A and B are shown apart, each in its own frame.
Chain A
Amino acid sequence: MSFHWRWDFTFDILPRLLLATLNTLMAAGIGYAIALVLGLVLALAQRTGFRPLTLVAREFVEFIRSTPLVLQIFFIFYVGPQFGIRLSPWVSGMIAIGLHYSAYLSEVYRGGLDAVPKGQWEACTALNMTARQVYGRIIIPQALPLSLPGMGNYLVGIFKDTPMLSVIGVAELMQTANAIGSESYRFLEPYTLVGVIFLAISLPTAGLIRLFELWVRRKLGMR
Chain B
Amino acid sequence: MSYWEFLLTYGARFLDGTLVTGAQFLLGTVVAIFIALIAGLAKLSPNLVVRSVAIAYIELFRGTSLLVQLYWIFFVLPLFGLTLPKFTAGFVSVGMNVGAYGAELVRGAILSVPKGQWEAALAINMSPAQRMRRVILPQAVLIMLPPWGNLIIELLKGTALVSLISVADLMFQSKQINASTYLSAQSFGTALIIYFILARFLVTPFMRWLERVMARRLGRG
Q: Do chains A and B touch in the complex (CB under 8 A)?
A: yes
**A binding-site residues for B, Cβ under 8 Å:** 1-3, 62-63, 65-72, 74-75, 78-79, 81-83, 160-164, 166-167, 174, 178, 181, 187-188, 191-192, 194-195, 198-199, 202-203, 206
Partner of A191, one of B76, B81, B164, B185: B76
B10 within 8 A of partner (CB): no
Known: A3-B80, A67-B192. A74 touches B175 (CB 8 A): yes
Known: A70-B160, A198-B63. A78 touches B68 (CB 8 A): no
Counted as pairs of residues, one from A and one from B, with CB atoms less than 8 Å apart, the total is 114
Tell me if B68 and A174 are in contact (CB < 8 A).
Answer: yes
Closest residue to A76 on the B side, CB-wise?
B188
Tell me if B195 and A67 are in contact (CB < 8 A).
Answer: yes
**B binding-site residues for A, Cβ under 8 Å:** 59-60, 63-65, 67-69, 71-72, 75-76, 79-81, 153, 157-158, 160-161, 163-164, 171, 174-175, 178, 182-185, 188-189, 191-192, 195-196, 199-200
A68 to B156, CA, bound (A): 8
Tell me if A3 and B68 are in contact (CB < 8 A).
Answer: no
- Can you spell out 14 A-B residue pairs with CB atoms less than 8 angstroms apart? A3-B79, A63-B192, A68-B171, A70-B161, A74-B178, A75-B184, A78-B184, A79-B189, A82-B182, A160-B65, A163-B68, A188-B79, A199-B63, A199-B64
A65 to B152, CA, bound (A): 12
Among A65, A67, A191: residue with most chain B CB under 10 A: A67
How many whole Å from B193's CB to the nearest CB in chain A?
9
A198 to B160, CA, bound (A): 21
A206 to B104, CA, bound (A): 15
> Which residues of B have CB within 8 Å of A75?
184-185, 188-189, 192
A161 to B68, CA, bound (A): 10
